[in-house]
Every structure is written in C-alpha cells, then in structure tokens.
Structure 1
C-alpha cells in the first residue's frame, strides 16, 4: 500500500460527496472523492494534515506528459528500481510527494521501455485514493 503525508488544500462539496485536494510535498497534489463532508467528518478541513493511501496495483505509469486521458492525479517522479517478474513488475518511483510503488504487467514495462533513471508520471484515479487522519 502506498502511503503519503499531505494536507488538505481545498474541499468541494456536493450532497454527501466531497472532492478533496491534498498537497503532497513541494510540487505535488492529488485529489480524492470521499463519501463524507466537513459536516460529517471533522478531519475534512482546509489545512488539516492527512494520510493518503492507494494500492500499488492502482498506480498507472506514463512516460510523457501528453496523455489525452481523464486521470488528473499525476505525480512526476524518477524510477529508482524495477523488479521484473514473468508476469508482473514492481516499479519504485521517487517523487516530491514521496516514494511510490507501482505494480504493472511486465509486458507493459517492456512496451514502455522503462528503466532506472527514467522520468515518469504515476497516475491514480481519484476514487482509488483513501484518506485518514
């Protein structure tokens, strides 16, 4: 499980849902959609520290910025290590937000020609992000 420390920078509420923007490190932000509001969850306040969690299997890797997709959670980082298996590969990424791990297919790793030192974007859907105090 990826675990990052951040602080809430913005909250947009609609009904019982909140779109929460979290600042991570110097230049990284991430968004999460939660089924709570500032009225129902006291930790949902601008400026409050939060922990951000997401599974390694939910991290998508791209090797350039021009992805015409709807994923807005994009964290720039550098590949520090790749452990290739027959079917799956574990990719370790250093970023301003912290260390990230992605588990992707080895075929995808080879298709993108990923290697140590490459700059990549780690991307996660906002509904896959969990928050905790």
Structure 2
C-alpha cells in the first residue's frame, strides 16, 4: 500500500459525496472522492492532516504523451527500480512526494519499453484513493 501525508485543501460536496483535494506539497495536489461529507465525518475539514492511501495495483504508468486523459491525479516520477516477474512487474518510482510502488503487467513494461531512470507519469483515479487520519 502506498501511504503519503498531506493536508485537505478543498472539499466539494454533492449530496452524500465529497470530492476532496489533498495538498501533498507545494507542487502536488491529489483528489479523491469519498462517500462522506464534513457533516458525517469530522476529519473532512480544510487544513486537516490526512493520509492518502492507494494500492500498488491502482497506479497507472504512462509516458509524457498521456497527459490528455481524464485521470486527474498525475505525478511526475522517475523509475528507480524494476523487478520483472513472469506476469507482473514491481516498479519503484521516485517522485516529489516520495517513492511510489506500482505493480503492472510485465507485458506492459515491455510494450512501453520502460527502463530504470526513465521519466514517467504515475496516475491514480480519484475513486482509487482512500483517506485516513
């Protein structure tokens, strides 16, 4: 599980859902959608510290030309390490918020011709990010 700390910077509420923006550092803000509101969850308050969590299998890897897609959470990173398996590969990515671990198909690693020290974009869908206190 990837776990990073940040502060809630913005909350948009619609009925029982909240789109929560979390400021990770001065350059990176991640968004998530939660089935809670500030009225039902006291931690949902601007400025509160939260942990951002997402599974290694939920990280999508792309090249620079993948910026025009609907995934809102995009983090520039450099491939630090690739451990290839028969079916799946484990990538460790160095980013401005810390090391991100991604598990993707080994076939995708080969198709994208991913190598260590290559710059990539790590992407996570808003519905795949969880928050904790």
Q: TM-score if structure 1 supplies the norm length?
A: 0.96
- Matched ranges for 1:17-96 at <5 A: 17-96=17-96
How far, CA to CA, are the matches of 1:7 and 1:79 in structure 2?
26
Which blocks of at least 5 consecutive residues in structure 2 are unaligned?
none
Instruction: Report Cα offsets for 1:56-110 as digits up to 9, x if no partner.
Output: 0000000114443210110111111000111110000011111100000001001
Q: What's 2:11 paired with?
A: 11
Q: Deviation above 6 Å: which 4+ runs of structure 1?
A: none
Q: TM-score if structure 2 supplies the norm length?
A: 0.96
How far, CA to CA, are the matches of 2:53 and 2:7 in structure 1?
13
Coordinate RMSD, CA, aligned: 1.0
How far, CA to CA, are the matches of 1:64 and 1:39 in structure 2?
40
How far, CA to CA, are the matches of 2:125 and 2:81 in structure 1?
23
2:113 counterpart SS class: coil
How far, CA to CA, are the matches of 2:126 and 2:78 in structure 1?
22
* Structure 1 pair 65–30 and aligned structure 2 pair: CA distance change class (3 A): farther
Aligned residues: 133
Alignment check: 8 A CA contact 1:26 1:96 kept:
no
Which blocks of at least 5 consecutive residues in structure 1 are unaligned?
none
Q: What's 1:131 paired with?
A: 131
